[in-house]
Structures are given as C-alpha cells and as structure tokens.
Structure 1
Amino acid sequence: MTDDLAPQKRALRAELRERRRNLTRDERAAATTGITEQLVALVRKIDARSVSCYLSAQDEPNTREFANWARDAGIRVLFPITRTDGLLDWTTATDDEEETLGLFGTPEAVGELLGPIAINDVDLIVVPAAAVDGSGMRLGWGRGYYDKTLGSMERCPPVYAVLFDSELVDEVPRERHDQAVDGVVTPTRTVEFSTRSPRRRRI
C-alpha cells in the first residue's frame, strides 16, 4: 500500500464500520429481507447451480438467509476458510452447519476443506466489501484475501459485493492489486457495472 492511500483507506473503513454499528434492529431486519430477495433474484437470473458466499458477521449485511435458501434449493454453496498464507480454502454448506471463528475473529463454517481451487467451479461469487464505487472498484477490509483469489482466476464467474445502500459511493481509493466486481447487491437494488474484465464470464 502506498503512503498516500493507506490513511485514506483506513479512514474510510473506520467511518463505514461506525455507520454499520449505528444501524437499528429494524433497519438490519429490513436490510436482510431486501438483500435476500435481491440475491435470490440474481441466482435465478443467471441460473446459478453453485455459488460461493461468506458467513456474515454481526455488523455486516446479512447473507445467512440467502445461504440457507440456496442450500435448501439444492444449490451448492461454498464458504471461505482463511489460511495463514493469504489464500482461501473452501467448504460446502450442510444442513447442520457448524461455525467457528477464523483467523480474524469472523465466523467461518466448519467442514471438509476443499482447497483454494474449489472456487473455480462456482457460477457466482458473493463477496463482502466495505464500499464499492460507480466503476465497480471494491474496497475490502484490508486483508487481501478476495483480491488475491479473484486476481488469480483465469475464468472468473460474475462477482457481486453485498453492501448497505449508502456504501455504493462515487469513488474509493484504488491500488494496482485491488479487484473490481461485476455488480453490487444492496437491500433495495442490484447494480451491474458495464466495464468488466475480459477474463470474466459474462451473465
């Protein structure tokens, strides 16, 4: 990270974390309903039979209802498992999901580890984000797992970040290793970006 962008990213992440903490219970419940509906519609639109999705933490937009719906609908769901080498392992969602805390204190599923290349078989990747701008550039939380994963894929399926509505912003600080997304899902809408990497499969 350059000296110029490091403070910008830290400040923006801190502001966004504080906003999330200040959401009311009713606001969170409404957001969960909206995000689930948007993700279900997206899966149906692209006819995804396998997806990767993270287990949301307490202050994150809730992806758990969507993951449960997908599993119950017979869609294969992969959850990420953090590794010390900066890569992600994956495990398959089950009916009796067990959870633990990962390397950074965030929830992760417990299951058979499938290795980093398991992500190559999904039809849709759902990722967390702090913010995304109008060009599709994603600001993550600073650990680089998804940037490394997406940057290494030769044929990446559509990638959508899940955000609260206020986190789709005009611009985020960008570095060379940062990876853009194909769209965002918020409680009220799904936004697709017109500029996509040529290595990605289009919807």
Structure 2
Amino acid sequence: MSATQSPAKIAMRDQLLAARRHRPLAEISEAARDLAGHLLEAPVVRRAATVAAYVSVGNEPGTAPLLDGLRAAGKRVILPVLLPDNDLDWAVYRSEADLAPASRGLLEPSGERLGPGAIATADVVVVPGLAVSSAGTRLGRGGGSYDRALGRVPVGTFTCVLLYDGEVGVDVPVEPHDRPVACAATPSGLVLLGRRL
C-alpha cells in the first residue's frame, strides 16, 4: 500500500460516503435482508464450511441478517479483529452477544484469536467496500486492511464485496496493492465479473 492515497480515490470515497449518509434507515434494513437472501441462496455459500465475513457499521450494507443466516445454516463464521497496524486478525463468531465494542466504532468477536492467516481457511470471503469496478477492483476506506487480508486468500476462493445498487461497475482507480474480488452482492442480486449469477 502506498504511503499516500490518490486524490482520485479520496474524492470518490467522499462522494460515495456522502451518498450513503442520505440513505433512509428503512432502505438500509431492507437492503441487509435482501443481501443476506441472495448470498445464503448462492450454491457456493451453501457448500461452504467456513465463511469469513465482518460486522457492518453505520450506513454500510448491513450484515446482521447474513451472519445470523450463516450461523443458522451451521457455517463456521470468522470475523476480523483490527490490529494496531491495520492488519486483520480473526476470531470465530458465535452470536451477537459475543461481539464487543472496539476501536473506530467497530464490533469484534471476543473469542480466541486465530491469527491473520486464518482467512486462508475460509471457503467464502465477504468484505466491505464502497464501490467495485466491473473487473473486480474494490474501493475500500483506505486503510488497506482488507487488501492485506485478501492477499492471504488462496486463488479460487469465492470473494465477494457487499454494496448497494449503483456502487457496482464504477470506474475505480487501481493501485498496485489493490486486490480484486470475484463478486459483488447488492440488494438486487449477485454480480460476477459484470454478469448476474
């Protein structure tokens, strides 16, 4: 990751975050249910034993219905724990009661830490983002945490970014440290390399 962020990425982040701040709460809740439904019905997720996911915050596409659905389906779910250097450790998610407040307004699992390499054990990896290009270049918040984590994911693992409609197919500026994802999940469905699944 570069020491400075590109002005194009900063401007794009600002625009996307501003648009998210204007989303009504009811729309955010409905989007979370729709996203969970699409992912839980996807054959690759249904076959998965372990899913790496995250706990959404603020106006991000919600993950609570997805996390509950994965656990109800018997999946092992691992969630990130932010380290001081912005890298990600991982811990098993057992229930909402297992989550504890952490830095930057995040909620993290309170169980035993599995190490940064634990993401490599996941059959499906679900990550946050602000936008994604049709080629899979994801725009995150700029900390580089998920690009590092995605660098540990074995080739061929199903990787998916959760977004709102209108945040897919965006011309995202690309930098050498950026790691692509294979799929985007939106309230309207799953998009793989520009095609509907």
TM-score normalized by the length of structure 2: 0.90
Offset of residue 166 of structure 1: 1.3
User: Shift of the alpha carbon at 1:41?
Assistant: 1.4
Residue 71 in structure 1 maps to residue 71 in structure 2: yes
Matched, 1:14 2:43: no
Match of 2:111 in 1: 111
Offset of 1:156 from its aligned partner?
A: 5.5
Q: In the alignment, is the contact (CA less than 8 A) between 2:71 and 2:77 conserved in 1? A: yes
In 2, Cα distance between the equivalents of 1:120 and 1:94? 19
Number of aligned positions between the proteins: 193
1:56 aligns with 56
Q: Distance in 2 between matches of 1:153 and 1:140?
A: 17
Letter of the 1:169 counterpart? G
* 1:30 aligned partner, one-letter code: E
Q: Distance in 2 between matches of 1:152 and 1:76?
A: 19
Which letter maps to 2:162? V
The answer to whether the 8 Å contact 1:120/1:156 transfers is no
SS at match of 1:165: coil
- How far, CA to CA, are the matches of 1:95 and 1:107 in structure 2? 12
- 1:95-140 alpha-carbon deviations (Å, 9 max, x no partner): 3533233333322222111111211111100000011011111011
**In 1, distance between residues paired with 2:130 and 2:101?**
20
Identity among equivalent positions (%) equals 33
**TM-score, with length taken from structure 1:** 0.87
Alignment deviations for residues 135-160 of structure 1 (CA, whole Å, 9 cap, x no partner): 11101110001111212344451100
Q: Secondary structure at the match of 1:168?
A: coil
**In the alignment, structure 1 residue 175 sits paired with structure 2 residue 175:** yes
Correspondences of 1:118-137 after superposition (within 5 Å): 118-137=118-137
Find the aligned partners of 2:8 and 2:3 in 1 and give their Cα distance: 10
| Aligned CA-pair RMSD | 2.0
Inter-CA distance 108–45: structure 2 relative to 1 (3 Å threshold)? closer
SS for the counterpart of 1:108 is: strand
The amino acid that maps onto 2:121 is D
With over 3 angstroms needed to count, the CA separation of the structure-2 counterparts of 1:192 and 1:116, relative to structure 1, is same
Aligned to 2:39: 39
Rounded Cα–Cα distance in structure 1 between residues aligned with 2:137 and 2:44: 25
Question: 1:133 corresponds to which letter in structure 2?
Answer: S
Structure 1 residues 12 and 164, CA, compared in 2 at 3 Å: closer, same or farther? same
Instruction: Report SS of the residue matched to 2:105.
Output: coil
Q: Which runs of 4+ in 1 moved over 3 A?
A: 43-46, 152-156
Secondary structure of the structure 2 residue equivalent to 1:97: helix
- In structure 1, the residue matched to 2:193 is 193
* Partner Cα distance (1:143, 1:109) in 2: 20
Structure 1 unmatched runs, 5+: 195-203
Provide closer, same or farther for how the CA distance between residues 155 and 44 of structure 1 changes in structure 2, counting only shifts above 3 A: closer
SS in 2 for 1:55: coil
* SS of alignment partner, residue 10 of structure 1: helix
Q: 1:166: which partner in 2?
A: 166
Counterpart CA distance in 2 for 1:97 and 1:47 is 26
Q: Is the 8 A contact 1:83 1:103 kept in 2?
A: no
Q: Secondary structure at the match of 2:174?
A: coil
For the residues of structure 2 that align with 1:170 and 1:69, how far apart are their CA atoms?
A: 29
What is the alpha-carbon distance in structure 2 between the residues aligned to residue 29 and residue 118 of structure 1? 30
Q: Which residue of 2 aligns with 1:149?
A: 149
